[in-house]
Structure 1
Amino acid sequence: MDDSDLPVRLAKPARRALEGAGYLRLEQLAQGSEADILKLHGMGPKAFELIKHTLLEKGLSFRK
């Protein structure tokens, strides 16, 4: 069963990078910093912006 609530439109390399680092839910991403996410291999600028926008839609943001 897939418990992920990551954006459906997220590119596969970015999704694999997040899941490989243990990020399956938006709430988990909000506990990380932008720098933590950007340094993941496979995380590109488009995917990062999609994640950032999705977090904002849910009232969440990255840790400072």
Structure 2
Amino acid sequence: MTSRIFDIPGLPAPARRALVRNGLTSFEAVAACDERDLAVLHGVGQRTIEVLRRALAEQGRGFGDPTPPTR
């Protein structure tokens, strides 16, 4: 399980750069965002949203959920 957003397999390079450029490098930062907020970033498209959604789900998270899950 990866802890950094930019290590997610299948995350396109333009999307990775857009996320890093906007300070979104952790699951907490991305989970706190709404999908629509991410979709407006240059380099982030529907494929990226799907990749991020799957990665967040593997962490027990989702978009709009800034609180880490308790284990």
Query: TM-score, normalised to structure 2's length?
Result: 0.77
CA distance in 2: counterparts of 1:31 and 1:44, whole angstroms: 18
Gaps of 5+ in 1: none
Alignment of 1:18-57 (within 5 A): 18-57=19-58
Greater Rg by CA: 2
Structure 1: 4+ residue segments shifted above 4 A: none
Aligned residues: 61
C-alpha RMSD of the superposition: 1.5
Percent of aligned pairs sharing the same letter: 36
Q: Which runs of 5+ in 2 are unaligned?
A: 66-71
